[in-house]
Structure 1
């Protein structure tokens, strides 16, 4: 016990004379914190490249709070799954500093682990929709890194659903087909080019993303898509969406595209996801109205095709674009397809 008290004393600056003032529960909590093993995984190209300087900030904020031997800090590689596949289970908490795409890749690894770490977020990405949906983004923007790290150490968790595409691609936020995915694919293709990385650092990734949205505003899916799903009465329903529409969005987060609330019915732990069809320019513009008005899309758009389900099949023939959690998905939308989306698991997220 003397050695444990020494650890607390060294890390917090509390001397021996303060010992009698500590409540037993406080001591237990402090000891629990010091027994944690945390991995901070930083995407160095997230946001305005702020990930490159975040390591020093984390070390500075945790100085005197958590012993340096209790946490590791790594920069993510382009192939994050390969980088992390063998050692995430060695940590009780994995904190991802990045955006939705980075988080999604870590979740893919966590799902396959027998010993699953809790997942924390430092939201420095472009959209940060998962962090926004969980209240983490507001905490980070309003109070900064220090209070967010304290929240992570408190380790309060909430479960979120994990979805699967064709039982092989895991995702937590959304899957987009059509206009949304073309913008995302262009963004991920261009963001690593040196000249465009410089532009992105000047105007922010969101600004760059907005320019690409204007560039692709007229894109339409050139073929019909049949949607087969199970409704609330456990009956099978089939909807055919005729060619010439903008996009299909399959979402499990409250927020989408940097701040649009897609559905007033969204509950991230209810075993269901939302499916929304954006048919034309007017509904596409409504996405921006929903963001400006801070109201769910389904409350301001009449005759919107939107429903909840836990299982969905998409049938089509043709070529289009697809993105999963903000990252291009190459093996999805080519040729004749019968695709399955369903809820397969859950993940513990650290929340305020």
Structure 2
């Protein structure tokens, strides 16, 4: 069995680069002939290597890095007829997809060990026009946070950088006249944003889609039907206390296999795919049910779900960021 690790050498404050020998050692001990490829600044470097490695006959492709690296590898493998199994070693800011699969997010070597357990499940992949995503697609205001926050801030402050940028942009949110078609209906009206989720973890929080299913062939569609600052804050608060936002009258929530999103008042509606800019609407989304086989931690693994624990984690990231900026 051959495994190819495609890793971002700058991810996790370069921790992946420093621990790659240990990661390859774990894979070798688990029965794999393992090798590694470091991505380059060249556009689609990880995607192109995933395609090359798959066609070269590798049995397992391992995406090591943040959600962007994972998206590129998924985008390379998903269109292929013969698709190797996929492994994940998370080293990004939020690691949403790894969180959903119970893969250790604070220990890269333990994440590699998950692959050697040989427990793989078929997971859904989203297709947007001719692109792919594995965690979330979104459109409208605030959905551009992931590529507006500078990389240096994300490295230094982690998830806190998104919170600060979101708070800065919240008063600027305006409604957009949208038309969103889905399996059993159409939403047409003013909305500030929409989310199309495959997992339960979005932006580090696990209650945005509390009943997400990785294998059922359906998206979880959420449309925020308001741009009022008070109402948005109310929805955000309900989101943090157990997913109660799904009962809010300003939220449309449905399960669907197909979605077509467009702006109908001449507004620009940007699409975000797994944290990266995915072009502008109109966009058609289709769920490719169980398109990839992926290694997951099927045993219980401690996850940060309580709000108090989440705040402690953010505070620790803030302290680490300040230390790094101060040269400590």
Same fold (TM over 0.5): yes
Between the aligned partners of 2:67 and 2:121, the Cα distance in structure 1 is 17
Which structure shows the higher helix fraction? 1
For 2:13 and 2:294, locate their aligned partners in 1 and report how far apart those are by CA, in whole Å.
Answer: 25
State the SS of the aligned residue for 1:224. strand
Contact kept? 2:142, 2:170, Cα under 8 Å: no
* Higher mean C-alpha deviation, range 155-164 or range 282-291: 282-291
1:269 aligns with 2:215: yes
- What secondary structure sits across from 1:212 in the alignment? helix
In the TM superposition, what is the alpha-carbon distance from 1:179 to its structure 2 partner?
2.3
Contact between 1:221 and 1:320, CA under 8 Å: does it hold in 2?
Answer: no
Label 1:229 to 1:121 Cα distance change in 2 as closer, same or farther (>3 A). same
Q: How does 1:112-261 map to 2 (within 5 A)?
A: 112-136=79-103, 139-141=104-106, 144-166=107-129, 168-187=130-149, 190-191=150-151, 197=152, 199-204=153-158, 206-231=159-184, 237-242=185-190, 245-261=191-207
CA distance in 2, matches of 1:178, 1:272: 22
Displacement of 1:261:
2.2
1:286/1:171 CA distance change after superposition, 3 Å: farther
- Kindly provide the CA deviation profile for residues 166-213 of structure 1, in whole angstroms up to 9, marking residues without a partner as x: 2x01111111112232212312xx32xxxxx2x544323x23222222
Report deviation, 1:249: 0.7
Q: CA deviation at 1:45?
A: 2.8
**CA contact under 8 A between 2:90 and 2:108: conserved in structure 1?**
no
Segments of 5+ residues of structure 2 without an aligned counterpart are 298-328
- Is residue 100 from structure 1 mapped to residue 76 from structure 2 by the alignment? no
State the shift of 1:150 in Å. 2.5
Structure 1 Cα separation of the partners of residues 19 and 102 of structure 2:
21
How many residue pairs align between the two structures?
288
Q: CA RMSD in A?
A: 2.5
Counterpart-to-counterpart distance in 2, 1:47 and 1:212: 21
SS in 1 for 2:52: coil
Q: Distance in 1 between matches of 2:277 and 2:254?
A: 25
Instruction: List alignment gaps of at least 5 residues for structure 1.
Output: 1-35, 192-196, 232-236
Q: CA deviation at 1:71?
A: 0.2
| Aligned-partner Cα distance in 1 for 2:212–2:146 | 23
The TM-score normalised by the length of structure 2 is 0.78
The change in CA–CA distance for 1:61 and 1:344 in structure 2 (over 3 A counts) is closer
Q: CA 1:216–1:47 in 2, change beyond 3 Å: closer, same or farther?
A: farther
